[in-house]
Structure 1
Amino acid sequence: MSKAPAAIRPRAVVIFDGGRPKLRKRAEPLLPVVERYFEVVSVQTDLDAALEAHGAELAVTMGGDGTILRTARLMQDQQLPVVGVNLGNVGFLAALQPEHLDQALPEVAAGRHLLIDHLMFRWSVVNDQGETEPQLGLNEAAVLGGAPFSMLEARLFIDGDLVA
């Protein structure tokens, strides 16, 4: 199968956790498939480093739902549409199976796809030392207690207004 001309291929950044050898072994052979339909401007394998999107129009993540969540955090305020290739176990967010890339990616590249907007939000936790720890969430946040178990105090603000 030949590549589409670069002038009409959307620009994409490919993201996977290169620190996980089994995942790398599954992801790297998929790069040529992605390159058939997208101009890959960056391959990011360090999920703790700042995202180098280089003008990408979308991100192709390879891994599981955790990879998509980490990608959303990497993008911060520069969110891109994400195509999630499921190399993990769950696949609620990363639903595209590797064996379907050659069928799905041409549709995505041509703009013939369903775009689902997930809620991105900022939240923070005040720790035992009184320090505020800012976080970025995708769709949901969970408040979990741990040992030693004790009462948690929680307040919910939306746009600066206390709601609960």
Structure 2
Amino acid sequence: MALLFNPHKTLACSVREEIDELLQAAEISVTHVAVDYDTKILQVEPSVQTVEMAIVLGGDGTLLGVARQLAPHHIPLLGINMGHLGFLTQSDPSQLGPAIERIIKHDYQLQRRMMLEVFVYRQGKEIAKLIALNEAGIGKASFARMATLDVHVDGVYMDTYSGDGVIISTPTGSTAYALSCGGPIVSPQLQVMVITPVCPHTLFSRPCVIDASQTVRVKVRARHKDVALAVDGQDGMMLESGDEIVVRQAPYDTTLVHLPDREFFDVLRSKLHNSAYTSATY
């Protein structure tokens, strides 16, 4: 078992000791790794790629960063919420004991969440490849500028968006940035992508749901250099006019540990109806 914790969250540092005691009492060996957005987990601790499960102590942002690194190794992730929203996590510190007991007894299910591969091409050459669990966002980097983006699906012209940008999200990401921009809530087990314009300068541009097997190509048209690509709100790069971004389903999924009494619509109702939280999970 791997215990990955965000060292910048005081509660995470204290809770990991409690979890360690519970797992050690059940004779389960534990590997501790401090993780941040920039931590190269498998370089710091190569043995993590062989563990049965990784418990992630942090918020949704911590879990997103871990997922992008461990998904290719098919390691189930159990999120314990140390942040604000905790939409992707399965337990809070107050429910820690029962949650860990279920893990010890193998009383849980595994959920597969589709991911995205994002390629950036400049003058016909691939210059970057990124992975996302929530979304790929393409848009202006400054407040006053406007980005113009041509969007094609499977080589067929779909629309041109002039405004703040466009988001291509997974069902998991439908409750993140895309939701704040008017996108639909999508049940996480579906295999689809959602294309959501961000503040489009038109009266008719609307979000669109496409099949996960399709490929989205976005071409940047701008007179300035304040256009950027961001994946999961954490990783990304600056773009130039003429760049093309290709988004498609990744060849692997993120595997999340799911506790039976934590259903998607129950979490949706309790989290998103609470005015103390925002709607984003990035």
- TM-score (norm. length: structure 1): 0.73
Q: How far has the Cα of 1:99 moved from its partner? A: 2.2
Secondary structure at the aligned position of 1:143 is classed as: strand
Are the equivalent residues in 2 in contact too, given 1:23–1:87 (CA < 8 A)?
yes
How many equivalent pairs are there?
151
Tell me: higher relative CO, structure 1 or 2? Use CA pairs within 8 A at least 6 residues apart.
2
Q: Which amino acid aligns with 2:148?
A: M
Question: Does residue 152 of structure 1 match 2:140?
Answer: no
Number of the residue aligned with 2:245: none
Q: Out of 108, 116, 140, which is 2:103 matched to?
A: 108
Number of the residue aligned with 2:220: none
Number of the residue aligned with 2:17: 29
Q: Deviations over 1:127-156 (max 9, x none)?
A: 69x662211111433334322432134455
Q: How far has the Cα of 1:36 moved from its partner? A: 3.6
Q: How far has the Cα of 1:32 moved from its partner? A: 2.1
Distance 1:142 1:105, change over 3 A: same
Number of the residue aligned with 2:76: 81
Q: Distance in 2 between matches of 1:34 and 1:134?
A: 37
Are the equivalent residues in 2 in contact too, given 1:42–1:54 (CA < 8 A)?
no
Q: Which amino acid aligns with 2:54?
A: A
Question: Does residue 15 of structure 1 match 2:10?
Answer: no
Q: Which amino acid aligns with 1:152?
A: L
Are the equivalent residues in 2 in contact too, given 1:16–1:24 (CA < 8 A)?
yes
Are the equivalent residues in 2 in contact too, given 1:13–1:56 (CA < 8 A)?
yes
Gaps of 5+ in 2: 155-211, 218-282
Are the equivalent residues in 2 in contact too, given 1:118–1:139 (CA < 8 A)?
no
**Which structure has the highest strand share of the two?**
2
Are the equivalent residues in 2 in contact too, given 1:17–1:23 (CA < 8 A)?
no
Distance 1:150 1:143, change over 3 A: closer
Which of 77-86 and 143-152 deviates more?
A: 143-152
Number of the residue aligned with 2:41: 50
Q: How far has the Cα of 1:66 moved from its partner? A: 0.8
Q: Percent identity?
A: 23
Are the equivalent residues in 2 in contact too, given 1:64–1:87 (CA < 8 A)?
yes
Q: Which amino acid aligns with 2:95?
A: H
Q: How far has the Cα of 1:81 moved from its partner? A: 0.8
Number of the residue aligned with 1:121: 116
Q: Distance in 1 between matches of 2:150 and 2:16?
A: 45
Q: Distance in 1 between matches of 2:137 and 2:27?
A: 36
Q: How far has the Cα of 1:92 moved from its partner? A: 0.4
Q: Deviations over 1:28-69 (max 9, x none)?
A: 433323434462442111441232315211110000111111
Q: Distance in 2 between matches of 1:25 and 1:103?
A: 19
Which of 147-156 and 102-111 deviates more?
A: 147-156
Which of 34-43 and 50-59 deviates more?
A: 34-43
Are the equivalent residues in 2 in contact too, given 1:85–1:95 (CA < 8 A)?
yes
Q: Which amino acid aligns with 1:105?
A: I
Gaps of 5+ in 1: 1-11
Are the equivalent residues in 2 in contact too, given 1:26–1:87 (CA < 8 A)?
no
Secondary structure at the aligned position of 1:96 is classed as: coil
